[in-house]
Amino acid sequence: MIKKLKSELLTSIKNKRLNVFLLFLFSAFVILIFTKLSKDYTNTIAFNIEKVNVPQDNVILNDSSHKLQVTLKTHGFKWLKYYFTKPDISIDFSSEVYKKQNTYVYTKSVSYLNEKEPFQNEAKLLDISPDTLVFRYDSNLVKKVAVQTETDITFFPGFDIVNSYKTIPDSITIIGPHEMVSTIDFIKTKKIVLTGVKSNISIQSKLDLPKNASDLKFSSEDVQFTASVEKFTEGTVTIPVQIINLPQNTSIKYFPKEVKVSYYTSLKNFKNISVKDFKVRCDFKKVNNDQSVLIPELTKVPENVKHIKLKQQRIEFIILK
């Protein structure tokens, strides 16, 4: 028992000594860090450019070279700000640039920048590179273009869309450099892939924006993609054949006088389809002299019907004397 108490006592003393050592070590580290940060340091860091007060009828073309390498002298605590937040320098296009041909030119001295934010009262600016920035610009163009759908959609057997796919909005407005916007005639959606669809569709879809989209502004970058889906069935009607443009004093005998027409429509619309919704005509002017065949054509079909097909492709005739 006595040996056990001695062992525990020695262990406790050793642990306390270790804790005291670690505390002193941490304190020394903190003091060292504060000592280092309180000193002045000189370093070079890349500043991004923030463009302000750009004329509304102009747009500045993005360029990766629009950065300034800035050499600063300040104490360590201030340097932390530049390392943890992305620094930038604002350029006022209403007062700090001048036009040269089709560009804006920015050139300022070190002494001038020392009076600007973020350097004023925080750091001493020693050098900047490059000493001149050139900004290309173009006149803005506002253009409204249609939204087109890019789809890969399959339906559950017996189901289909009633009309067509729609997007809300069906068009968007693009604002940007004339030379870029003028070449855009439509914007597609990102490819919409759906399988086994048997109910109405209503989903949000991103637009497939151009690669240079950073130079452009869009009234919307996504749309609502919609479609009405219903159960479909096939129907067949028998339609009388009409002959048009038959010359005067000419009579013909033709066969068949009626043709079957098949179609595909929704169950909801099926009972509304009738013979009078279709017209089949043969134009006698289109007959070749060496043939005795008329070609039937559908000249009238009802709405909400698809996959319409004439069962008879030729109408034979003879001219009666």
pLDDT tens-digit map of 94-108: 888 888 877 888 887
With a CB cutoff of 8 Å and minimum separation 6, the contacts of 220 are 169, 172, 207
Give, to the nearest 10 degrees, the angle between helix 2-37 and helix 76-84. 90
Could you give the 3-state DSSP secondary structure of residue 144? strand
Rounded to a whole number of angstroms, the CA Rg of the chain reads 40
Instruction: Find the mean pLDDT for residues 258-263.
Output: 95
Question: pLDDT exceeding 70 applies to what percent of the chain?
Answer: 77
> What DSSP element (H or E) covers 76?
helix 76-84
Report the b/e string of 105-122 with b at 16+ CB within 10 A: ebebeeeebeeeebbeee
Exposed / middle / buried, residue 96 (Cβ in 10 Å: 0-12, 13-18, 19+): middle
User: How sure is the predictor about 199, in pLDDT bands with cuts at 50, 70 and 90?
Assistant: very high
Is the pLDDT score of 38 beyond 90?
no
Rounded Cα distance, 99 and 107, in Å: 12
Q: Are 227 and 201 in contact (CB under 8 A)?
A: yes
DSSP structure class, residue 245: S
Q: State how far the Cα of 95 lies from the Cα of 244, in Å rounded to an integer.
A: 76
- % the chain with pLDDT above 90: 41
Question: pLDDT class for 9, splitting at 50, 70, 90?
Answer: very low
Task: Please give the helix or strand (H or E) that residue 32 lies within, else none.
Answer: helix 2-37
Length of the chain measured in residues = 321
Q: Over the stretch 53-96, which tens digit does the pLDDT of each residue have? A: 888 777 777 665 677 787 777 665 566 666 666 677 788 888 88
Residue with tokens 């069935």: 233
User: If phi over 0 gives left and psi between -120 and 50 gives alpha, with beta otherwise, what is residue 190?
Assistant: beta
Q: Average pLDDT of 251-277? A: 92
Q: How far apart are CA 141 and CA 215, in angstroms?
A: 12
Is pLDDT above 50 for 5?
Answer: no
Q: Can you tell me which residue has the tokens 């279709």?
A: 278
Other CB atoms closer than 10 Å to residue 174's CB: what's the count?
20
Give the CA distances from residue 72 to residues 25, 66, 78, in Å, rounded to whole numbers and listed in that order.
33, 19, 10
CA distance 65 to 313: 67
pTM across the whole model = 0.58
List all residues 6 or more positions away from 162 whose beta carbon is below 8 Å from its beta carbon. Answer: 227, 228, 229, 230, 266, 269, 304
253: β partners: 318
pLDDT in tens, 159-192: 999 988 999 999 999 988 888 888 899 999 999 9
